[in-house]
Structure 1
């Protein structure tokens, strides 16, 4: 593990390094080997805090919750402010420090695992801007605090297995916040307006040209931008919205399959059933049978 900084810890700050025998067990256990913590901490008003690594052999997250700092990576300097998350993968050369006049307060976490690279790839920032500007999120802070609280548990392995689970929760939460942040700041596409248009036209057909016109983009550039933000095509999203509506109608009404298909823009009941099955993995009639207890999910 890359060594944590030797910054002297003042009152109100925490540094915790997991015992090596525990780390060895976590790296081999089926419930934790994917990703597990190595060391973690919270540095409050960290005046004088600095760190430089020419060889970084694990993965590191730093979440700034107040104050400011600086990151140097790939011979470029970046200012870090409250709400920024630094995502520093393995094998990178980096250095960072607290601002002298307004020192940062940070949560930090070293981790590793067989899938750590995949987790970090899902949350890493753009190469030109290695800090994710997530903003201040009380729930994310609570996630870090819950992980730190594990240090007060016993040395039982089960406590550290739980810490690995908390770490997975943190990583997937960050991935969600990153996606939401991209939607908010990408001014080239008004996702709220586009998806509102989709929702108000679930009962009819909606072509890609109409959606592209709403975004004031060509069809090609609209599809490209939409997929870059969501990972899906706009028409695929529209179909999923229709099927979600169909599920709702199947749950709350006794309408026939043909009526429900008609309500979401499918005049052919057979075609509606085929689309429903493609999205949900079961037919609409089977979905309703499950709801009323005449069938099970596994059958």
Structure 2
């Protein structure tokens, strides 16, 4: 197992080691043997934090949410900045050191598993580009914080199975974020901004022209570029977001279908129900019945 930094942990820092008997559970349990954490934590304002590994026998993910650090991977020098995700796979010779004047604040996870390399490959890792500039995303920060919160729930086996599966969710969510980074790099379409507009208008109508205007693009180019990056049209995605929110409302509230339809901007409950069935595969009433089984 790769060495972990012995950086002096402050009061608000966290460094968590998965016990050996739980690692054995991970290795033997079909629910988590494909991907599981070994150690993880949070280092705030980590001045003096540094590590050099000539041998590295697990995978390491670092998410920098503030500050800077210097990184060397296989002899290549990189600068880690706020909002960067760092991926360091098995067998990668590397070192990193927090900037003295502006030290990084990081979430980090050492992980392994039968499919751990496949999960890393899903992030399009390469030695040449071990850093992805995701930005500081509240939902991603919350994902790392949730992992730390779950670990405080105790040492029960089911808790650790949940931790392992939360890691899977986190890794696959990061993979979804990467296309938006590519869009931002091309300076032609910012998916995070567009999806933020969609979420903001989830209770209203939103047309293609409004979205294209927000992106400063023509309707034709915006629609074409969006579909290239996501696999569906902007309006299709907006409708899917609405129907996903409808499912949430059906799950957590006692609202009638026509009330939920109005809340999502549909005056015609029958039209809303047809859209719901097209997207979800069953009507809102059928969904409610399945929920209560």
Please state which band the TM-score falls in when normalised by the shorter chain. 0.5 to 0.7
- Map of 2:66 onto structure 1: 66
Q: Within 2, Cα distance between the matches of 1:190 and 1:61?
A: 25
- Map of 1:93 onto structure 2: 93
Given that 2:74 and 2:127 are in contact with CA atoms closer than 8 Å, whether structure 1 keeps it comes out as no
Q: Map residues 122-161 of structure 1 onto 2, 5 A cutoff.
A: 122-125=122-125, 127-161=127-161
- Map of 2:174 onto structure 1: 174
Report deviation, 1:78: 0.7
Given that 1:124 and 1:130 are in contact with CA atoms closer than 8 Å, whether structure 2 keeps it comes out as no
Q: Within 2, Cα distance between the matches of 1:2 and 1:58?
A: 6
Number of residue-to-residue matches in the alignment: 249
TM-score, with length taken from structure 1: 0.67
Larger CA Rg, structure 1 vs 2: 1
From the superposition, tell whether residues 33 and 190 of structure 1 become closer, same or farther in structure 2 (CA, over 3 Å). closer
Q: Map residues 1-299 of structure 1 onto 2, 5 A cutoff.
A: 1-125=1-125, 127-187=127-187, 229-230=229-230, 232=231
Report deviation, 1:179: 1.9
From the superposition, tell whether residues 228 and 70 of structure 1 become closer, same or farther in structure 2 (CA, over 3 Å). farther
Q: Within 2, Cα distance between the matches of 1:27 and 1:87?
A: 23
Report deviation, 1:111: 0.6
- Which deviates further from its counterpart, 178-187 or 81-90? 178-187
Q: Deviations over 1:180-201 (max 9, x none)?
A: 2222322367987xxxxxx869
Q: Deviations over 1:97-129 (max 9, x none)?
A: 101111111111001111111111122455543
Q: Within 1, Cα distance between the matches of 2:190 and 2:104?
A: 34
Q: Within 2, Cα distance between the matches of 1:145 and 1:292?
A: 36
Q: Within 2, Cα distance between the matches of 1:48 and 1:200?
A: 50
From the superposition, tell whether residues 184 and 172 of structure 1 become closer, same or farther in structure 2 (CA, over 3 Å). same
Report deviation, 1:141: 1.4
Q: Output the aligned Cα RMSD.
A: 4.1
Given that 2:226 and 2:233 are in contact with CA atoms closer than 8 Å, whether structure 1 keeps it comes out as no
Q: Within 2, Cα distance between the matches of 1:118 and 1:56?
A: 17
Report deviation, 1:34: 1.7
Report SS of the residue matched to 2:122.
Answer: helix
Given that 1:62 and 1:87 are in contact with CA atoms closer than 8 Å, whether structure 2 keeps it comes out as yes
Report deviation, 1:237: 5.8
TM-score, with length taken from structure 2: 0.68
Report deviation, 1:140: 1.4
Q: Within 2, Cα distance between the matches of 1:63 and 1:292?
A: 42
From the superposition, tell whether residues 41 and 253 of structure 1 become closer, same or farther in structure 2 (CA, over 3 Å). closer
Report SS of the residue matched to 2:4.
Answer: coil
